[in-house]
Amino acid sequence: MKALSAIAVAALVFVPGAVTAASDPPPGAAACSGCHAANAAAETPVPKIHGRGAADIVTAMAEFRSGAKPSTVMSRIAKGFTDDEVKPIAAWLEQQK
């Protein structure tokens, strides 16, 4: 039984598809792209967040949620996410260049 578990773990680590799955956006990340353009060439008054530091995104979301950072819609959007949901989204956004 332990041998089967080791094989399963090895398959997850060494299968090429498993590597690309890590680049898939985490749940909730699609909500960001409605306003924050992923294309660096896009002209928009909304700040780009792709490639921004994860810690900056987590802090901004907490400030939007608490009302410490003024916003038009981000305070309402931020309240829909928990810290545990924001962290993987922020980490994924940071990796997007």
pLDDT of residue 46: 92
Spell out the residues 6+ positions from residue 62 whose beta carbon is closer than 8 angstroms to its own.
68, 78, 83, 86
Triad 19, 80, 29: Cα angle to 5°: 25
Per-residue pLDDT of the chain (97 residues; tens, 9 = 90+): 444 344 443 443 343 433 334 589 999 999 998 899 888 788 888 999 999 999 999 999 999 999 999 999 999 999 999 999 999 999 999 999 8
Q: Give me the pLDDT at residue 97, please.
A: 82
Counted domains in the chain = 1
- Phi/psi class of residue 51: alpha, beta or left (left: φ > 0; alpha: ψ in -120 to 50)? left
Residue 42 placed within a domain: yes
Residue 18 lies in a domain: no
Residue 36 domain boundaries: 26-95
Is 68 a member of any domain? Answer: yes
- For the chain, helix, strand, coil in percent to 5 are 60, 0, 40
Can you tell me the distance from the alpha carbon of 61 to that of 93, in angstroms, rounded to the nearest whole number?
13
CATH code, domain with 45? 1.10.760.10
